Amino acid sequence: MLTTTDEKEALVLKEAHRLYGLLCHVSKTKSEKWSLQDCIAAAPYTLAINRFKREQNAVVLAHSYTTPDLVYGVADFSGDSFQLAQQAKQSSASVIVFAGVWFMAETAKILNPSKKVLIPAGKAGCSLADSMTGEDVKKLRSQHPGVSALCYINSSAEVKAACDVCVTSGNVFDIAQKMPGKELIFVPDLLMAKNIEDELSRRGTPKKIISSGGSCCVHDKYRPEHVEMLRRQHPGIKVVAHPECDSDVCALCDYVGSTGGMMKYVSSSTDTCFGMLTEFGLVNRLEAQYPDKEFVWPFGVCSYMKKNSLINTLQALVEPRPDQVVEVTQSVADAAQKSIHKMFELTK
């Protein structure tokens, strides 16, 4: 008969094997895969988190850029920012643990205000969301009266509250096309703004895009030379990129789309080698899902997303610090909710 300690060890080992079954093809670093030893180290945490989740009626929503131990060990759902916003909106759990960055957790709270929303990473920023304030948007809009304003979901609640419609990388082109007028304000991604202009011209519905803000500090690092290098080193490769990349890079790629869009592109393709101009976490998800395909990733890690870990997820569930509890001022939340709901309406 097993002693209590033996039982615990057997449970940990069983959980480690479950994780290893999912992660054995997944890169931990550029040169290393997840090992059984890594999974043995993660298992006590995933077991404890899953137990606390059951006890507290909590769900874990994890962005695909968080680490595979979170995505495969404890997440009830992982996906891109649009899919996660949908999940948060419809969640019936008492607690939503959002492994992502602050603007994503804030969006979850805005969409489902009666829930307790926790973010393990605390006030994890985003170079886009942090590039502009609500006051900046108001000033920009006053310079262009009558022009509709779209905001990328990678923005603060105040910025969303000051705009007409929120968009994500998955629906930005379609929503921009549906908006009335020949001009549009789009904040806070200057590179995506140029991609919108290019895509609307390609579709035969050109619009002038007025923008302000910054860029994603991960995706703005890719250059046309990286696409050329991938093609030279891997003949026949399909190169995919996120629309936060420079338009000169996007113009050279086989597919440009959201995190979810890139996953769909790979799943529906018969090609076997893909160049990934995006964050490492998405590469990890694809490696786990398509072990027979090859994913070549030059570089690109979001340090904000990687602030989420098993340790701070457990700690947030047990005893959240004030900076891990998401609150949004009522008046801002109400106005921001309108622009997010408008997005859902226009995405139907």
* Residues of the shown chain interacting with ligand SF4 in the complex, contacts defined by CB under 6 A: 101, 126-128, 154, 216-218, 244, 279, 302, 304-305
- Compute the distance between CA of residue 284 and CA of residue 33 in angstroms, rounded to an integer: 10
- Distance of closest approach, residue 33 Cβ to ligand 13P, in angstroms: 24
**152 binds, options ligand 13P, ligand SF4, none, Cβ within 5 to 8 A by partner type:** none
CB of residue 303 to ligand SF4, shortest distance in Å: 8
**What whole-number distance in Å separates Cα of residue 312 and Cα of residue 67?**
13
Work out whether 154 is an interface residue with ligand 13P (CB under 6 A). yes
Pick what 258 binds: ligand 13P, ligand SF4, none; C-beta below 5 to 8 Å, kind-dependent. ligand 13P
- Mapping DSSP to helix (H, G, I), strand (E, B) and coil, where does residue 240 land? strand
* Number of residues engaging ligand 13P in binding (CB under 6 A): 12
Q: How far is the CB of 68 from ligand SF4 (least distance, A)?
A: 17
- Residue owning tokens 């923005």: 155
> Minimum Å distance from CB 168 to ligand 13P?
5
When asked if residue 209 is in the footprint of ligand 13P (CB under 6 A), the reply is no
Contact between 48 and 59 (Cβ < 8 Å): no
**Residue 21 Cβ vs ligand 13P, minimum distance, rounded to whole Å:** 26
Among 27, 67, 169, 337, contact with ligand 13P (rule: CB under 6 A): 169
Please choose which of ligand 13P, ligand SF4, none residue 259 contacts, taking the beta carbon within 5 to 8 angstroms, the exact cut-off set by kind: ligand 13P
Q: How many residues does the chain have?
A: 348
For ligand SF4, give the closer residue by CB, 275 or 281.
281
Assigned token pair, 321: 């610090």
What are 277's two structure tokens?
């101009």
Contact call for residue 80 and ligand 13P (CB under 6 A): yes
Min dist. Cβ of residue 192 to ligand SF4 (A) = 10
Closest distance of CB 276 from ligand 13P, Å: 13
Q: Which two tokens stand for residue 245?
A: 């990349």
Distance CA 36, CA 219 (A): 32
Return the half-sphere exposure (C-beta side, CA atoms, 13 A cut-off) of residue 158. Answer: 10
Could you please report the per-residue DSSP string of 2-51? --HHHHHHHHHHHHHHHHHHHHTTSBSSSS-B--HHHHHHHHHHHHHHHH
Neighbours of 225 (CB within 10 A): 11
Indicate which single residue of 168, 195, 308, 312 sits in contact with ligand 13P (rule: CB under 6 A): 168
* Residue selected from 66, 67, 81, 308 as contacting ligand 13P according to rule CB under 6 A: 81
For residue 217, the partner it binds in ligand SF4, ligand 13P, none, with Cβ less than 5 to 8 A by kind, is: ligand SF4
Please, are residues 173 and 204 in contact by the beta-carbon 8 Å criterion? Answer: no
Amino acid identity, position 336: A
Q: Does 244 bind ligand 13P (CB under 6 A)?
A: yes
92 to each of 16, 57, 59, 113, 309, how far by Cα in Å? 29, 9, 9, 12, 24
Q: Which is nearer to ligand 13P, 45 or 280 (CB)?
A: 280
> Are the beta carbons of 82 and 171 closer than 8 angstroms?
yes
* Residue 215 in contact with ligand 13P, rule: CB under 6 A: no
Looking at residue 303, the DSSP 8-state letter turns out to be T
Out of 27, 211, 259, 308, the only residue in the binding site for ligand 13P (CB under 6 A) is 259
Binding site for ligand 13P (CB under 6 A): 80-82, 154, 168-170, 216, 242, 244, 258-259
